[in-house]
């Protein structure tokens, strides 16, 4: 069975925090739901945490995994049964941190490609306090890192909007080179993709993660370190300030 991924329905859906669902599978402490707002680990982004509430009480969700069926890890003594109606609620602070960090990654990856001769993003890891991006081929010096930081913060200050849409491979390739969007690394069998667009197509990238709706929500970006990962690959680690345009979560149960 496939779980309906409510957070993918729109950019705005990533701001939803509460939802109703039905238990469709149980495997020990792994609970499968027919629909969910919980993001499972994937694409470099960590999972959401939060809670599941049923007639038997409240359960803490400590981990979320899966591609088709999304499984929510809870305590072994959960007392849930298949068919139970539940309400889920994600930890908003963790979700919003991931949204801001992930959108900042898209911004810096797009800028690095433009500034440094088509350097590619070959890896990333999105966390709450700091995140990282792996670039190849490149050897950053301090002036390059300063240029990347200043350019990224200018875009943040300009408050560009962030949109999502569904596009075909052909449509994406007509706008951006395959190596910039990493389209050449995606299976050829995938025809239609969810795409995140910053501004007027400044950056366009297939992605199933959660993102903010405006760059002003990122805050100031600071690159805190760089590290060689061999074979022309360098990893930068970045942090975000608390000086950002805060958007409150949606309060309705979806």
pLDDT higher than threshold 80 for residue 184 = no
pLDDT higher than threshold 90 for residue 249 = yes
pLDDT higher than threshold 80 for residue 35 = yes
Domain boundaries, the chain: 4-90, 99-240
Which pLDDT tens digit goes with each residue over 185-232? Answer: 777 778 889 999 999 888 999 999 999 999 999 999 999 999 999 999
Rg of the chain (C-alpha set): 19
Per-residue pLDDT, averaged over 68-77, amounts to 94
Q: What is the pLDDT of residue 186?
A: 78
Which CATH code fits 4-90? 2.40.30.130
Which pLDDT tens digit goes with each residue over 73-98? Answer: 999 889 999 999 999 999 999 999 99
When mean pLDDT is compared across 2-16, 58-72, 99-113, 161-175, the lowest value belongs to 161-175
Per-residue pLDDT, averaged over 28-44, amounts to 97
Q: What pTM value is reported for the model?
A: 0.95
Three-state secondary structure string covering 133-157: EEEECCCCCHHHHHHHHHHHHHHHH
Fold that domain 99-240 belongs to in CATH: 3.30.980
Per-residue pLDDT, averaged over 2-13, amounts to 97
């Amino acid at each position: 069975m496939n779980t309906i991924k409510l957070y993918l329905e729109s950019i705005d859906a990533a701001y939803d925090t509460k939802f109703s669902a039905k238990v469709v599978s149980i495997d020990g402490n792994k609970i499968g739901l027919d629909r969910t707002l919980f993001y499972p680990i994937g694409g470099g982004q960590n999972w959401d945490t939060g809670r599941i509430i049923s007639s038997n009480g409240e359960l803490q969700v400590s981990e979320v995994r899966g591609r088709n069926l999304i499984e929510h890890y809870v305590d072994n003594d959960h007392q849930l049964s298949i068919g139970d109606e539940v309400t889920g609620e994600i930890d908003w602070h963790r979700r919003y941190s991931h949204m801001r960090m992930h959108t900042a990654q898209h911004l810096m990856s797009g800028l690095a490609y433009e500034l440094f001769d088509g350097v590619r993003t070959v890896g990333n890891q999105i966390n709450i306090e700091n995140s990282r991006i792996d670039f190849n081929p490149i050897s950053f010096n301090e002036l390059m890192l300063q240029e990347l930081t200043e350019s990224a913060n200018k875009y943040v200050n300009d408050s560009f909007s962030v949109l999502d849409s569904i596009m075909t491979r052909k449509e994406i390739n007509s706008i951006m080179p395959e190596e910039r969007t990493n389209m050449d690394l995606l299976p050829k069998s995938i025809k239609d993709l969810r795409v995140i667009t910053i501004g007027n197509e400044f950056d366009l990238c297939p992605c199933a993660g959660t993102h903010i709706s405006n760059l002003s929500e990122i805050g100031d970006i600071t690159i805190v370190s760089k590290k060689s990962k061999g074979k022309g690959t360098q990893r930068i680690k970045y942090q975000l300030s608390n000086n950002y345009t805060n958007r409150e979560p949606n309060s309705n149960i979806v």
